Structure 1
Amino acid sequence: MGAVLGQTEGGPCPCGTGEAYAACCGPLHRQERLAETAEELMRSRYAAYARGEFDHVFRTWHPRTRPADVTADAHLVWQGLEVLGTSAGGPDDDTGEVEFRASYQLGKQRGTMRERSRFTRRGARWVYLDGHEITD
């Protein structure tokens, strides 16, 4: 997955919260703190794909389900994230689900991807387990 062009440390976070990247997903990407909820981890993973922070994507993927390598399509540009709903995944939960829609551009083609992602805790850390794409 390619990066959003023009993203800086002081600019808005691609995850859609409206906060600056440096205060939002940046600390998670830099391993300064852990995500408190499944939704926060999902948003940080989206932002990591959008910014090209693939080490964060790999690190937050459950070892049982993650691929050996996380690769990127240099032509894919992530353009927006909309969280559609959550189930569990709070600070006191062990599992959670987040449904989202992400918009992208690939060359001249624009599209959206909708997924229901499952998360679980490994120790004190939320990790991505798997996701199921939803067709509209």
Structure 2
Amino acid sequence: MPLKNTDPCPCGRTQATPGKGARAAALPYANCCGRYLDHWDDAPAPDAESLMRSRYTAFVLEHGDYLQATWHASTRPAALDFEPGTKWLGLEVRSHRATSDDRAVVEFVARYRVGGRAVRLHETSRFVCEQGRWFYVDGDSS
């Protein structure tokens, strides 16, 4: 499912809008994950949270090439399969923190529906930065 650059980004990242009592507005795809997915060679994600969000968006859009490129070589699978009929419903980033200058963890909950069944993926993911690029290493699910 292609997105227009002006569509809200699937990762759900928002920016505050000016004005008292104003609600946060969803960032458009082009200003959020699109800048990383569409320009991986020139614009890598600047931190582990941005990479995690862009990887969620890549799952939504079934961009296997981006997922493979951002998966650390030590744990990268040889191939990715997408479950037919999966509908991604939302992402909640619960926490993100650096554990050293080149390592970080991000805890998130991703919700999706497949085969009429709702699924909730709660994971604490580990990331590493090598030569200025962040990579997903692995995660613990609960």
Moved over 6 A (4+): none
Which structure exhibits the higher relative contact order, with contacts defined as CA atoms closer than 8 Å and separated by 6 or more residues? 1
CA–CA separation in structure 2 for the residues paired with 1:108 and 1:6: 23
Q: Choose the corresponding residue for 2:45, options 35, 56, 60.
A: 35
CA–CA separation in structure 1 for the residues paired with 2:129 and 2:2: 33
Q: How does 1:1-136 map to 2 (within 5 A)?
A: 7-17=3-13, 18-30=26-38, 31=40, 32-88=42-98, 93-134=101-142
TM-score normalised by structure 2 residue count: 0.84
For residue 42 of structure 1, give the secondary structure of its aligned residue in structure 2: helix
CA–CA separation in structure 2 for the residues paired with 1:86 and 1:117: 9
- Partner deviation per Cα, 1:37-90 (whole Å, 9 max, x = no partner): 10000000000001111111100000110100111111211110000111216x
Aligned length: 128
CA RMSD of aligned residues (A): 1.6
For residue 34 of structure 1, give the secondary structure of its aligned residue in structure 2: coil
Larger Rg: 2
- Partner deviation per Cα, 1:16-35 (whole Å, 9 max, x = no partner): 10200011111101124111
TM-score normalised by structure 1 residue count: 0.88
